[in-house]
């Protein structure tokens, strides 16, 4: 139990009913989780409005309601409940969560990474480097939250504020000294990180994405939300090569450092090389500016130069991070589902990547084409109950950029997989690209492996870190790494 008055510091509120001099047993924003003594936040969501549940939660024993507008309550409950009105219940929720969990972010070094691409890979690189230097590091992101040995699969890139603060409190208890987290534009727009002062805020890049009715109304809105992080951090580290940097910097209150390819950046890369050996792709470059040493990463593509340079720019601010630690940690880093190489042959390259829209797929295939493969083979499907236009676009992109496409199934949800594949095929037919359809994903992967030729690069796109296939509302276990292993074991049994 905690006194409500102890949690309200920094929150603009008005008492509509009762008194703030009460004790509460917990903070919730889901009416199903209300217990006697709960504080319930009436949040306006995309699907439901918490204000409509005010009477219900009052009957269930809620002690405090936090609202944006007055609510109707049954007479018996009016004598035993407190109602506080605030300008924005999402901001109030985040600040109450910070206080409820004892402001855990103040007890660790907080690193927040925002951007359209590169967030996930950069955060894993930072974690690897800092752990190599002896720090205990928590991670929050698109794939998972990592707290010590605990792995929590992610529902959102950045969790809702109540969950986020709970995770941070667990990290403090676990002895974490630093936290590196992806901060999405949605999280900034919905105030999920309100109340946190980041020691380091990071901007990787921005491009037109997440624009639509359920996300951002325009690219300007998207950029404005991203820029909010730099009014919430002490030091901002920015990609100096991004053409929208000036817009992202508008209104910033932090110190500014940049990384990139120009001598005017604090850290910059020169002599970047793509490395290709049998069964291996990577990158190498020379760091210059305020540090100078050569880096090699086992992650292919020029974007890995930017991601690793960004990680260096962050980690150099931590005591004990030497050039040798930076070199060693970056050489060995692997990120699940992000141009993840899976060794099956010395003759060709096989990799898994999360690219699941046309923009990401085009970026990936462009990157891999720079390694001059004998053939570039792309296997992918598209999710059901999503925009059909994505299927045409991805089909057209693969047909235009890959030498051969394998159309397969990917989370059909409530749609017929064959109908989804029909749409992808429509897109490919706008090009001269060669293709085959194999609806069973394991069979499709087996086909890709069995038909791999000397010098090929084969990319299994779309699933990335996901380890399930969603069909008719149910998630069935399906990890492409497991499927590859099973295929190789079955092949070995036949020989």
Please tell me the distance from the alpha carbon of residue 83 to that of residue 81, in angstroms, as a whole number. Answer: 7
pLDDT confidence of residue 211: 47
Residues 6+ apart with CB under 8 A from 155: none
Query: In which order are the strands placed within the sheet that holds 198-203?
Result: 150-153, 144-147, 137-140, 178-182, 109-114, 198-203, 233-239, 255-260, 267-277, 280-289, 293-297
Q: What is the pTM of this model?
A: 0.93
Torsion of CA 49, 50, 52, 57, to 10 degrees: 160
Query: For residue 87, what is the DSSP state?
Result: S
Beta-bridge partners for 83: 17, 65
For residue 410, CA distances in Å to 381, 478, 479, 480 come to 5, 10, 12, 11
Per residue of the chain (495 residues), what is the pLDDT tens digit? 999 999 999 999 999 999 999 999 999 999 999 999 999 999 998 789 999 999 999 999 999 999 999 999 988 888 899 999 999 999 999 999 999 999 999 999 999 999 988 999 999 999 999 999 999 999 999 999 999 999 999 988 999 999 999 999 999 999 999 999 999 998 999 999 999 999 999 999 987 554 455 555 677 888 899 999 999 999 999 999 999 999 999 999 999 999 999 999 999 999 999 999 888 999 999 999 999 999 999 999 999 999 999 999 999 999 999 999 999 999 989 899 999 999 999 999 999 999 999 989 999 999 999 999 999 999 999 999 998 999 999 999 999 999 999 999 999 999 999 999 999 999 999 999 999 999 999 999 999 999 999 999 999 999 999 999 999 999 999 999 999 999 999 999 887
Residues 6+ apart with CB under 8 A from 66: 13, 39, 40, 41, 42, 83, 84, 86, 89, 92, 93, 96
Give which of 315, 281, 311, 285 is closest to 298, Cα–Cα. 281
φ, ψ dihedrals at 43, nearest 5°: -100, 135
pLDDT confidence of residue 208: 58
Please tell me the distance from the alpha carbon of residue 36 to that of residue 27, in angstroms, as a whole number. Answer: 11
- Name the one residue in this structure whose structure tokens are 């507008």: 69
- Other C-beta atoms closer than 10 Å to the C-beta of 45 total 10
Catalogue all structural domains in the chain, each as residue range(s) with its CATH number: 2-99 (3.40.1390.10), 101-332 (3.40.1190.10), 340-494 (3.90.190.20)
Cβ–Cβ under 8 Å, residues 457 and 368: yes
- Other C-beta atoms closer than 10 Å to the C-beta of 152 total 14
């Amino acid at each position: 139990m905690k006194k409500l008055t102890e949690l309200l510091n920094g929150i603009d509120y008005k008492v509509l009913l009762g008194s703030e001099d009460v004790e509460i047993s917990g903070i919730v924003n889901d009416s199903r989780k209300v217990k006697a003594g709960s504080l319930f936040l009436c949040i306006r969501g995309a699907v439901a409005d918490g204000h409509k549940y005010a009477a219900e939660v009052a009957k269930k024993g809620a002690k405090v309601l936090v609202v944006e507008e007055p609510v109707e309550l049954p007479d018996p409950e009016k004598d035993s409940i407190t109602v506080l009105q605030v300008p924005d219940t999402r901001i109030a929720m985040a600040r109450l969560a910070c206080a409820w969990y004892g402001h855990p972010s103040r007890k660790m070094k907080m690193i927040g990474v925002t951007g359209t691409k590169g967030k996930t890979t950069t955060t894993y690189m930072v974690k690897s480097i800092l752990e190599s230097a002896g720090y205990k590091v928590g991670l929050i992101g698109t794939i998972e939250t990592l707290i010590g040995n605990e792995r929590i699969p992610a529902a959102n890139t950045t969790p809702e504020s109540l969950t986020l603060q709970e995770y941070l409190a667990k990290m403090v208890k676990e002895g974490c000294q630093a936290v590196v987290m992806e901060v999405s534009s949605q999280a900034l727009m919905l105030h999920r990180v309100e109340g946190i002062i980041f020691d380091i805020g990071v901007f990787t890049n921005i491009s037109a994405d997440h624009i639509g009715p359920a996300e951002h109304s325009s690219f300007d809105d998207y950029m404005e939300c991203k820029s909010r992080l730099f009014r919430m951090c002490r030091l901002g580290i920015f990609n100096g090569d991004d053409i929208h940097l000036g817009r992202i910097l508008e209104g910033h209150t932090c110190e500014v450092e940049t990384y990139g390819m120009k001598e005017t950046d604090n850290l910059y890369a020169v002599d970047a090389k793509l490395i290709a050996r049998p069964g291996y792709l990577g990158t190498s470059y020379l760091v210059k500016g305020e540090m100078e040493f050569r880096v090699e990463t086992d992650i292919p593509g020029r974007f890995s130069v930017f991601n690793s340079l960004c990680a260096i720019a962050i980690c150099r601010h931590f005591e004990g991070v030497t050039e040798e630690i930076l070199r060693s940690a970056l050489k060995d880093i692997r990120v699940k589902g992000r141009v993840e190489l899976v060794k099956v042959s010395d003759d060709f390259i096989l990799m898994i990547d999360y690219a699941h829209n046309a923009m990401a797929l085009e970026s990936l295939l462009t990157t891999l084409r720079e390694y001059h493969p004998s053939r570039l083979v792309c296997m992918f499907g598209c999710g059901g109950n999503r925009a059909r236009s994505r299927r045409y676009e991805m089909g057209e992109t693969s047909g235009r950029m890959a030498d051969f496409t394998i159309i397969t199934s990917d989370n059909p949800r409530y749609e017929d997989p064959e109908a989804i594949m029909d749409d992808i095929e429509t897109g490919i037919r706008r090009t001269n690209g060669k293709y085959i359809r194999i609806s069973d994903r394991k069979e499709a992967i087996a086909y890709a492996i069995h038909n791999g030729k000397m010098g090929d690069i084969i990319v299994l796109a779309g699933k990335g870190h996901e380890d399930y296939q969603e069909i008719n509302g149910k998630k069935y276990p399906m990890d492409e790494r497991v499927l590859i292993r099973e295929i190789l074991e079955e092949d070995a049994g036949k020989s």
